[in-house]
Every structure is written in structure tokens, then in C-alpha cells.
Amino acid sequence: MPTYARAPVAFVRGAGCRLWDREGRVHLDFAAGIAVNVLGHAHPRLVRALTAQAETLWHCSNLFEVPGQEDVAGRLAALSFADVAFFGNSGAEANECAIKLARRHHAAAGRPERWRILAFEGSFHGRTLGTLAAAGNPKNLHGFGPAAPGFDHAPFGALAAAERLVGPETAAILVEPVQGDGGVRVADPAFLAGLRALCDRTGALLMMDEIQTGIGRTGRLFAHEGAGVRPDVMTLAKALGGGFPVGACLATRHAAAGMTAGSHASTFGGNPLAMAVAAEVLATVTAPGFLETVRATGDRLAAGLDALVAARPHLFEARRGMGLMQGLRCRTDPAVVVAAFRDAGLVTAPAQDRVVRLLPPLIVSDAEVDEALAIMDGVGARMRLAA
Ligand SMILES: *Cc1c(COP(=O)(O)O)cnc(C)c1O
């Protein structure tokens, strides 16, 4: 179906931060499949883990115990606030699980009237009917009938509005610590702390959608760590499988109290292939020094982008973001800028709010950052001549 406005390029091979298209041209990848290829392309450790699992067992169903799920859930629990995990195949499914979990949490405690979720304008939570309603973006909901009920929306960052919208029917607050699709909008730590306090006061669950920010993207394993705010529920996907489809909904035992046997399921979720790769991604990203390097490389990219904005103000308006999740706000349609970058050999991703997203693999080198900055500066110089 023609549901994608695809760029006229087909990548057929990747290694590290490079992609080769079918004409044999090499591109520098600063999109990483939208924050997915966290260790770049064809990382030897991931290739080995996936190949070894492929020779052993592909699938067996959640009718049985799956040792790989115990391994990955145990690692995620040791690395986070969470006690338990449910595995799916995508981000949208992880958020569906979180929404169901929040409603069951209250229903199981004798409060079935608490089923509404407060979410934020500019957010993105997936393309299922539930997660579309959660984000509330009218453009994405258009033509699909009435939005699923039970979601309220406050402006992102507006704590007083959130406080007004949380009522006796509110089950949970769902928030991205950095809005990705919304344009790399970083939540103020005080806003997240205010939501935490609001949840503590009202008994609502605080649910962080870290599908794009998680697994080291912002320089911390999870973005909420940087803000010093612990959620009750967190969703992951994108980078968790380094390019193999997997999603997870993590929660404290208390938050997940309603998720009893038979309450939720997935045929493919937590498949042995996905778990083998996810375990290797987690081991690599949490190795000593890895995230320190991400922070240092992120600082280098941010400084370079600040200089770019200062040097090419006719095209670039501002930089935003943290770590290796950076956005460049443009004075023109970001799709035009993304296309110009791509023609110059740099792959990036557009976002809302006139933003071009820079999401390189976390293994990106200083030299590759400098190369990307030089390409962007060259495009800035040429687009000035064209204007
Ligand atoms: C990508 C994304 C999703 C949806 O993930 P899918 O795997 O496409 O379903 C949800 N939330 C956020 C923050 C995302 O970036």
C-alpha cells in the first residue's frame, strides 16, 4: 500500500555507520533506521548472537518458558526501576501493553472507574488505534473513525494544565522524556518531577515512553535517569533489538499487579531470536565506558550543530536535544533539508515542528561526526546560493 512517502533510494548493505545504495553509492547514516541501529549495521557481536540463535531455536510460543526472556527481563530489571517485563514486537505494542496495564492496575484494586490516560500534545506513541488516540495527533487520526476513548491531552511541559486534567478517573500519565517525532523537544526535568509528584499524590501511574530515547540514545541508558525521575512503567522498542524487531513494557511489580495469566499475550513477543539480540545489545551498551563515549560524542555533535546554526542562520534556526538525539530546527520544510543532506551523502530523518533529526548509531566516531557536520555546512552554503 502506498502508505509511505519513500525517498528514491534503496539501501542494500550496511557496515558500522555507512550504508550502500543499490547504485553503489556510500552514505553516512545519521538516522539509524530512526534510532534503531544503535550499534550501527552488521555489528559483529549482534551478527554472532543472531546467527548462533538461528542455528539453535527460532520460535516455540509463550505457551512455554522462554529462557531468553528470563535473561533479558533480568538484565532490564537489574538496569532499571522495573521488576517485570512483557515482550512484544514493536513500540506501539509496548504502549498498548502499558495502557492495558494501567487500566488493569486500578480495576484489580477495585477502582475500574480509573481508566483514563493523560498524554501530551506533540507526542507520538505508535499507529495502532489505541496509541493513535493516546497521542491525539489529528493528522494521524484523520479518517479512521472516532478516536478510542479515554485519553486526555495537556500541552507538553505545562504542569498546571496536567494537574487540572488529572481527575478521579485518571489511571496514568504517559509521557516521552524527549519527544522524538514531535521535534526533539526535551522535557524540563522540573516538569517530569512535577508529573511524578502529581502521580504520587493521586495514585496515577507515571508511564514513560522511552521507545526512542531508551538504550543510551540520550547518553544515559534511559532518559529519565538524566532527569532524576523514576517512572512506574516504561516502554522500549527501537534500539532494544539493534535492528531486530522487539518491544518491551517494563513495570514495577506494584504497577503490574493487574496483569494476571491470560490478561495479555503475543504470539511472536519475546521470540528467542529477538531475545538473543536484545541481550547482546544490552551487554554492549552497558559495557564500561560505552555511555561515557556517547555523552562525549553527543557533546561534540551538539557543539558542532550550535556552530552550524550560528554560521548558517538563514537555513537553521536552533539546535535541540541531548546525547546522540539531536534536532536541527529549520527555516524551511525539513523534508527539503533532509533531501539535500541525502543528496550530499548524509542520511537523516525529518520530524514535526520543522525539525531534522540526527540520530546516528551510538558507535559513531568523532571523525564521522565531523564529516556529517561538514556535509551539513556544505548544504547550508549551497542552499544560501539557491535562495
Ligand atoms: C517509534 C515510536 C513509537 C512506535 O514504535 P513502532 O515500533 O513504530 O510501533 C512509539 N513511541 C515513540 C516515542 C516512538 O518513537
Mean of pLDDT values over 332-358 = 97
Report pLDDT digits (tens) over 307-321.
999 999 999 999 999
| Predicted pLDDT at 385 | 57
Would the pLDDT of 26 be above 70? yes
What residues contact residue 342 under an 8 Å CB cut-off, 6+ apart? 7, 9, 27, 348
Mutate to test the pocket of ligand 1, among 36, 89, 93, 125 (most ligand atoms within 8 A of CB): 125
Q: Is the pLDDT of residue 387 over 60?
A: no
**What pTM value is reported for the model?**
0.98
User: CA 37, 43, 49, 54 torsion: positive or negative?
Assistant: positive
What whole-number distance in Å separates Cα of residue 36 and Cα of residue 328? Answer: 19
120, 128, 179, 181: residue to mutate for ligand 1 pocket, most atoms within 8 A of CB = 181
Cα 97 to averaged position of ligand 1 atoms, centre (Å): 13
- Residues spanned by CATH 3.90.1150.10 within the chain? 11-30+288-386
The angle at the Cα of 65, spanning 63 to 68, to the nearest 5 degrees, equals 125
Q: What is the pLDDT of residues 105-151, one digit of tens each?
A: 999 999 999 999 999 999 999 999 999 999 999 999 999 999 999 99
Instruction: Identify the CATH number of the domain defined by range 45-285.
Output: 3.40.640.10
Residue range 189-233, pLDDT digits in tens: 999 999 999 999 999 999 999 999 999 999 999 999 999 999 999
Determine whether the shortest distance from the Cβ of 177 to ligand 1 is under 6 A: no
Q: CATH 3.40.640.10 in the chain, residues?
A: 45-285
| 237 close to ligand 1 (CB < 6 Angstrom) | yes
| CA 274 – CA 170 distance, rounded (Å) | 34
The DSSP symbol for 67 reads H
Q: Which amino acid is at 316?
A: F
Asked if residue 230 lies in contact with residue 81, where contact means CB atoms within 8 angstroms, the answer is: yes
Statement: residue 165 has pLDDT above 70: yes
- Locate the DSSP E strands across the chain: 11-15, 18-21, 26-29, 84-88, 116-120, 151-154, 170-175, 178-179, 185-186, 205-209, 233-236, 247-251, 316-322, 325-330, 346-347, 349-351, 355-358
Q: First and final CA of the chain: distance in angstroms? A: 36
Confidence at 53, pLDDT banded by 50, 70, 90: very high
Band of the pLDDT at 384, cuts 50, 70, 90?
A: confident
Whether the pLDDT of residue 86 is over 70: the answer is: yes
Pocket test for ligand 1, best of 87, 99, 124 (most atoms within 8 A of CB): 124
What count of other Cβ atoms lies within 10 Å of the Cβ of residue 6?
8
CATH class of the domain comprising 11-30+288-386: alpha beta
> Residue 91: CB within 6 Å of ligand 1?
yes
92 CA: nearest ligand 1 atom:
9
Mean per-residue pLDDT over the chain, rounded = 97
Strand order in the sheet with 84-88: 84-88, 247-251, 233-236, 205-209, 170-175, 116-120, 151-154
Give the position, in ligand 1's atom list, of the atom nearest the Cα of 179.
Answer: 13
In three-state secondary structure terms, 39 is: coil
Instruction: Give the distance (Å) from ligand 1 centre to CA of residue 287.
Output: 26
Q: Sign of the C-alpha dihedral, residues 104, 105, 108, 114? A: negative
Sign of CA dihedral 277, 91, 85, 76: positive
For residues 166 and 169, what is the distance between their CA atoms, to the nearest angstrom? 8
Closest-lying ligand 1 atom to the alpha carbon of residue 123? 13
